[in-house]
A and B are shown apart, each in its own frame.
Chain A
């Protein structure tokens, strides 16, 4: 049976604003399938985003949605989750929004291990403003503000999240569409701050400047670089050169922030 996405899409909001071949739509479909598989109640689910192409996602999904300021999704979401821990809080946005202007909120949400899921669509570029380089643009790549090649080294979002204290970190790609919902569903079920990085494509502002002839070229590149963590265990360092690990990269149990704060309330009331 065809999957019924309409159940979660706000009536009249499609077609979405994303360019032909942009993977954000594939990720949104994955999120919807994940929400459906977990039977999340729409009115008890809050999707929070910042600014940018990927941050337009909440507008399409029929639940409580909060399209905030550039980079601030994690901070707004922390307020929602703290005030109402019973809500499912899901964040989404792009690499520039989340790791540049929002980098501080991102690492601190990881550190607190607050029970939310952050889906970062990493297309290596600021798409909405026309293709400027982001903290995830590969060194040497062309962007509208790196006409001679990018001199900056990039972030590894997953390593950043693990280092900052996130207790669930996974990576998928827009090519591996069938895996996206599974990664997101596992992240949502995990108690603590979970990060799902989806390697994505921006044919319009990244691809055309970096020798990708088509959307298909970009999709095939995602297919080629991705190596599942299990498969990587049997590969040599040489074989892994230039590859990117996908799947669940990190999963540990640590005290969750809103539960810890509930204990603060108990202690304060016992002392009263």
Chain B
């Protein structure tokens, strides 16, 4: 069965580039692209929601 990929929405105008989501993602899905975060490897996402939970800036929304 094909794995259903989550959607990770980055609200770029809210992101302040603090690195928290990049650092605390257990499977290294995210990376910094310039000053804001970007999705690097969506396939690796385990839908733990840590990035959404920890983002201080309301800049990440994960729909599993």
Decide: B52 and A15 in contact? CB cutoff 8 A.
no
A183 within 8 A of B: no
List 18 A–B pairs whose Cβ atoms lie within 8 Å, in order of A's numbering.
A1-B64, A2-B52, A2-B62, A9-B58, A14-B57, A15-B13, A15-B14, A16-B57, A16-B58, A18-B56, A20-B16, A21-B19, A21-B56, A26-B55, A29-B53, A29-B56, A215-B19, A216-B23
For the A-B complex, the count of residue pairs with Cβ-Cβ distances under 8 Å equals 57
What distance in Å separates the Cβ of A38 from its nearest Cβ neighbour in chain B?
Answer: 19
Decide: A215 and B18 in contact? CB cutoff 8 A.
yes
What distance in Å separates the Cβ of B60 from its nearest Cβ neighbour in chain A?
Answer: 8
Name the CB-closest residue of A to B23: A216
Secondary structure call for the A interface: loop
Which residues of chain A are within 8 angstroms of B14 by Cβ–Cβ distance? Answer: 14-15
A19 within 8 A of B: yes
Contact with B along A192-218 (1 / 0, CB 8 A): 000000000000000000000011100
Q: Given the known A-B contacts A2-B63, A15-B13, A15-B14, are A25 and B57 also in contact in the complex, defined by CB atoms under 8 Å?
A: yes
Q: Please report which residues of chain B, range 43-64, place their CB below 8 angstroms from some CB of chain A when the two chains form the complex.
A: 52-58, 61-64
A216 to B22, CA, bound (A): 10
Decide: B54 and A177 in contact? CB cutoff 8 A.
yes
What distance in Å separates the Cβ of A149 from its nearest Cβ neighbour in chain B?
Answer: 28
Name the CB-closest residue of B to A24: B56
Which residues of chain A are within 8 angstroms of B55 by Cβ–Cβ distance? Answer: 25-26
User: Using a Cβ–Cβ cut-off of 8 Å, how many residues does chain B contribute to the interface with A?
Assistant: 21
Name the CB-closest residue of B to A15: B14
A214 to B17, CA, bound (A): 12
What distance in Å separates the Cβ of A217 from its nearest Cβ neighbour in chain B?
Answer: 10
A22 within 8 A of B: yes
A2 to B47, CA, bound (A): 10
What distance in Å separates the Cβ of A153 from its nearest Cβ neighbour in chain B?
Answer: 30
Q: Please report which residues of chain A, range 1-32, place their CB below 8 angstroms from some CB of chain B when the two chains form the complex.
A: 1-3, 5, 9, 14-16, 18-26, 29
B5 within 8 A of A: no
Point out which of B13, B19, B54, B63 has the most chain A C-beta atoms below 10 A from its C-beta.
Answer: B54
Which residues of chain A are within 8 angstroms of B20 by Cβ–Cβ distance? Answer: 21, 215-216, 219
Q: Given the known A-B contacts A9-B58, A14-B58, A216-B23, are A178 and B16 also in contact in the complex, defined by CB atoms under 8 Å?
A: no
